[in-house]
Amino acid sequence: MDSPTESEQLRQTAGYSFLFLCDEQRQMIRKWDLVHPHARHSDGADIARPAEFLLDANGTVRWVNFTESYLVRARPKQILDAVDAQGLASK
Amino acid sequence: MPNGGLEVKRSWNPILWAGFALALASLPLYFLFLVRYQNTRESPWANVLVSAIAAVMLGVGIWRAYNRPQQFRGKVFGPILTLLSVAAIGLLFTTIYSVARNLPASINAPQLGQRVPDFTLPDSEGQLVTFSTLEGQPFTSNEWPPKAAAGKKASGTVLIFYRGYW
């Protein structure tokens, strides 16, 4: 939802090294049915519900995680275990 | 109050006020600080602990107000502060256990086994990135921008939809 500038600032501040993609116009979350309407506290804007997907090289969904609360997210170990279980670790 | 001819000044029952302050503080404590850490956000044990301490303090304060009224104030404001404390703690736990769980069902989201359509979005440097160009491309997660790493190729992609600062 953030602009590239805001995302880059967050990436640098938090020290993240992975790729950030910016869905400023909410096109992606609308297409994927992941919109949480009016959920941003600051201005009531639409934002994404928490969701994590593991896709294989063909773009097929191999693992998906929807938590039941927006305060709960997938833990890194959960994601790594899914990558291992699906045999998608880098070789 | 007369006491052997002396006026005894009654205490303002500080433990009651402290319990009230602690109950009120549990809201900003969670939403401004504890929410940033996965262990205290997902399971608000720290807030349960703070709320329990606040409840004990309020209970002691109320007990003093009603059982030692000659020493402690609080017969009137004690129940009021307790009700406000219950409301503050109730608001916190209602948010955590009810409001936060009111999420859209997302029944049309990509399902297991489904191939997702290709998409293009700008990265944090404003460069357009097409998903299909990432598939099977060499990269390491510890490099920015992603660069080739000898002998290593991504055979999958994790997409995380981020919605806040955690």
Task: Quickly state the pLDDT bin for B113 (edges 50, 70, 90).
Answer: very high
Question: Is the predicted pLDDT of residue B153 greater than 60, yes or no?
Answer: no
Per-residue pLDDT of chain A in tens (91 residues, 90 and over written 9) = 788 999 999 889 988 888 899 999 999 999 999 999 998 888 888 999 999 999 988 889 999 999 899 999 888 889 888 988 888 876 5
Best of B106, B127, B133, B140 to substitute, by most chain A Cβ atoms within 10 angstroms, is B106
This model of the complex carries an ipTM of: 0.91
Chain B CA closest to residue A31: B109
Q: Return the pLDDT at B142.
A: 45
- Does A75 touch chain B if contact means CB atoms closer than 8 Å? yes
Rounded distance, CA A21 to CA A5, Å?
11
- Interchain pair A73, B38: CB under 8 A: yes
Rounded distance, CA B113 to CA B26, Å?
44
Among B36-40, B49-53, B65-69, B150-154, the least confident range: B150-154
Rounded distance, CA B94 to CA B106, Å?
23
Beta bridge partners of B115: A60
Listed as own residue / partner, the contacts of A73-81 with beta carbons closer than 8 Å and 24 or more positions apart are: A73/B38, A73/B166, A74/B160, A75/B38, A79/A52, A79/A54, A79/B158
pTM of the full predicted structure?
0.79
Task: Quickly state the pLDDT bin for B141 (edges 50, 70, 90).
Answer: very low
The one-letter amino acid at B32: L
Q: How far is A17 from chain B (nearest CA, A)?
A: 5
Q: Return the pLDDT at B22.
A: 97
Q: Are strands B2-3 and A35-36 parallel, antiparallel or unpaired?
A: unpaired
In the numeric block, the tokens 């009531």 are attached to A44
Q: Return the pLDDT at B5.
A: 54
pLDDT above 90: percentage of residues in chain B: 69
Burial B15-54 (b: 16+ CB within 10 A, else e): bbbbbbebbbebeebbeeebbeeeebbbebebbeebbeeb
Rounded distance, CA B24 to CA B130, Å?
48
Q: Which of A23, A28, A90 sits opposite B155 (nearest CB)?
A: A90
Q: Return the pLDDT at A89.
A: 72
Among B43-47, B134-138, B152-156, the least confident range: B134-138
- Residue B67 in tokens: 């059982």
- Does A25 touch chain B if contact means CB atoms closer than 8 Å? no
- Interchain pair B156, A57: CB under 8 A: yes
- Does A85 touch chain B if contact means CB atoms closer than 8 Å? no
Q: Return the pLDDT at A91.
A: 56
Interface of B with A in 121-160 (CB under 8 A): 121-126, 129, 131-132, 134-136, 140-146, 151-160
Q: Return the pLDDT at B133.
A: 82
